[in-house]
Amino acid sequence: MKTLTFANGDQLPILGLGTWKSAPGAVYDAVREAIRIGYRHIDCAAIYGNEAEIGRALKDAERAGEVKREQLWLTSKLWNSDHSRVGKALEKTLRDLQLDYLDLYLIHWPVPLDPSVTFPSKPSDILSPAQQPYAATWRGMEEVARAGRARHIGVSNFSVKKLSDLLPHCEIKPEVDQVELHPFFPQPALVRYAAEQNIHLTAYSPLGSSDRPAQMKGKDEPSLLQDPVIATIAKVHGVTPAQVLLAWHVTRGIAVIPKSVSPARLRENLAAAELTLSIGDLERIDTLDRQFRYVDGSLWTPAGGPYTLQTLWDGP
Ligand code: NDP
């Protein structure tokens, strides 16, 4: 599989397995099956509530001789309540995943929360960047990187502005920004900026995240999987629409982490890493941009809180 290379030579397999919403009882089997068929990159997060089960799957796969730790790329994310205690949060994740180190640790959201809550129930639960500066959180990330507990560190849901504000404060630069990317939301300015800064991008919700909780969904959301342009390209290549959506990132040199707990779809998604789209395909897909986010961040923007959608995303 194609990989993305880091400054120290480490290689991130370009297609990985997403695990948000992979339910207890299902995620163990999904991770075991994924490893058996060749996935080597798994995207986790403390807030997904399933790291202990993923840890058991990783350990059992290793014990069964199916994979060695050093062949895997394991990412996890610092939850919003933990911005002021990065080391402690990472130690919990490492215990749950049964690991000595992560390959990549990300600040999950540029939205620090009061450390006593997991989700905000009132606007004051959300801390402003003045109360908990991103640069302070980043110092905690640098400490865990220096201690060797995370080989690489990065961010998630950071705009060009938030990245460029953070960079002057960094001794170790963020190496990855994990963001929503798909043909309806291709973020060309962020893609250009990340390339200039040697920051790798990872695309989340590449298939439209249709299993999100109902309260996170809008009315009449457009469907990536049913888009006619994607369907036509899929037909030409003799593949599925999901494979076109995933291959689009691979062709552009962006990592992608589709979530599935279905053995058939795990296979289908992995095979997409071997499909290369033509320049004509890419041009047709370019016409689909409609600046549409599935994960719109509105949870973090209650009236009276420190963020609006504009200051959260610094754009659409
Ligand atoms: P995806 O776009 O990956 O969509 C997942 C949904 O698509 C599931 O319902 C899955 O069902 C279904 N699916 C999977 N493969 C196929 C296929 N080949 N054909 C049709 N349907 C398919 O959504 P996610 O939001 O889960 O994004 C992927 C990952 O990105 C997350 O799991 C998480 O790891 C990460 N993420 C990170 C965020 C962040 O803030 N950093 C935010 C959102 C996601 P089934 O399981 O039944 O196959």
Q: What is the pLDDT of residues 212-243, one digit of tens each?
A: 999 999 889 999 999 999 999 999 999 999 99
Asked if residues 99 and 74 have their Cβ atoms less than 8 Å apart, the reply is yes
pLDDT at 316 over 90: no
User: Is the full-model pTM beyond 0.95?
Assistant: yes
Question: What distance in Å separates the CA atoms of residue 256 and residue 181, rounded to the nearest whole number?
Answer: 9
Residue with tokens 């960047």: 129
Q: How far is the CA of 34 from the centre of ligand 1 (A)?
A: 14
The phi and psi torsions of 177 (rounded to 5 degrees) equal -125, 120
Pairing between strand 11-13 and 3-5? antiparallel
Q: Which of 204, 244, 313 to mutate to test the pocket of ligand 1 (most atoms within 8 A of CB)?
A: 204
pLDDT at 304 over 90: yes
Mean pLDDT of 26-39: 98
Q: Give the pLDDT confidence of 51-98 residue by residue, as tens digits.
A: 999 999 999 999 999 999 999 999 999 999 999 999 999 999 999 999
Which numbered atom of ligand 1 lies nearest the CA of 294? 25
On the CB side of 87, CA atoms within 13 Å amount to 9
Whether 39 is catalytic is: no
Protein residue closest via CA to atom 30 of ligand 1: 204
As beta bridge partners, residue 76 has: 105
Asked if residues 86 and 99 have their Cβ atoms less than 8 Å apart, the reply is no
Q: How far is the CA of 146 from the centre of ligand 1 (A)?
A: 32
Protein residue closest via CA to atom 38 of ligand 1: 204
First-to-last CA distance in the chain?
Answer: 33
Protein residue closest via CA to atom 36 of ligand 1: 204
Q: Give the pLDDT confidence of 145-199 residue by residue, as tens digits.
A: 999 999 999 999 999 999 999 999 999 999 999 999 999 999 999 999 999 999 9
Catalytic residue among 48, 193, 294, 307: 48
* Edge-first strand listing for the sheet containing 17-18: 17-18, 41-43, 73-78, 102-107, 150-156, 176-180, 200-204, 255-256
Q: Is the CB of 241 under 6 A from ligand 1?
A: no
Q: Is the CB of 43 under 6 A from ligand 1?
A: yes
Band of residue 17 on the pLDDT scale cut at 50, 70, 90:
very high
Amino acid identity at 156: S
Which numbered atom of ligand 1 lies nearest the CA of 204? 30
